[in-house]
Amino acid sequence: MNLVNMFKTVDWFLAVNQNLLNDYPAILVAHSHLQSEIAIIDDLTETQAQGTKVQTGLKSNEKVELDGVMIKVSNAMGAEAAATNNQELKLIADWPKSLLNRLREGDYHVKVQQVYKVALPLAIQLSKWGVTLQEIESLNTLSDSLQKRTPDIRNVKVVSKQASTELRERISLQNTELKDTLDKLMKPLSGINPTLYGQYTNARIVIDKSASQSK
């Protein structure tokens, strides 16, 4: 971040003094290249900053909603099993709330799909126990959506990690480019226009701003 701030300071310096540098096309080309690199670095910084907070929050909300529907549908199935003395249905409906958070994701999905597939043909019977067809269908849609959240979260992490790697490489290359090209192009100005060159060297100073620094 400190290096990028320096890049942007140099960019600003070159922009405001462009009229004094028009006789040096190579400096203008180097400035254009610096601006392009800053734009790429800003894009990579934005990508790197993308966290998993949004996807994780959505996943948590969907899990809570799905848990609620699972309990409601399972209770209705349990009541129907008791009313019809259906032992198989009773076993499938035996779904205590305490198990919801103890199952692994894959096992949880399997159980939800089991309840969904058994409840769907019983939609009419379960309606008298307060369960709607829409709620039964939501077992499937919410479960599928929840399954997709985990790879989405992993993908965000992968993209962010790759952006971090590219960002470090890009900043390092641009820092070297400044030393090898622009610094050498500006050096003769120390005799031609000492004031301008002094301002450039000041712009090239990297100010170390730590994360814990107060405003």
Using one digit for the tens of pLDDT, what is the confidence trace for 78-134? 999 999 999 888 888 887 767 766 777 777 888 888 889 999 999 999 999 999 999
- Let me know whether 121 and 186 are in one domain: no
Query: Mean of the pLDDT values across residues 10-14?
Result: 94
Q: Does 215 map to a domain?
A: no
184 to 30, 181, 189, 191: CA distances (angstroms): 11, 5, 10, 13
Q: Which residue segment(s) compose the domain that 25 sits in?
A: 2-51+157-203
Q: Does 75 map to a domain?
A: yes
Task: State the pLDDT at residue 186.
Answer: 94
Q: Does 209 map to a domain?
A: no
pLDDT in tens, 37-56: 999 998 888 877 666 565 66
Residue 103 has φ and ψ, to the nearest 5°, of -80, 145
Reported pTM: 0.55
Instruction: Show the CA angle centred on residue 22, arms to residues 18 and 26, nearest 5°.
Output: 100
Last residue of a domain, one of 151, 166, 183: 151
pLDDT in tens, 166-212: 889 999 999 999 999 999 999 999 999 999 999 999 999 988 765 55
Task: State the pLDDT at residue 76.
Answer: 92
- Let me know whether 69 and 126 are in one domain: yes
Task: State the pLDDT at residue 39.
Answer: 93
Q: How many domains does the chain have?
A: 2
Show Cβ contacts of residue 192 under 8 Å, excluding neighbours closer than 6 positions: none
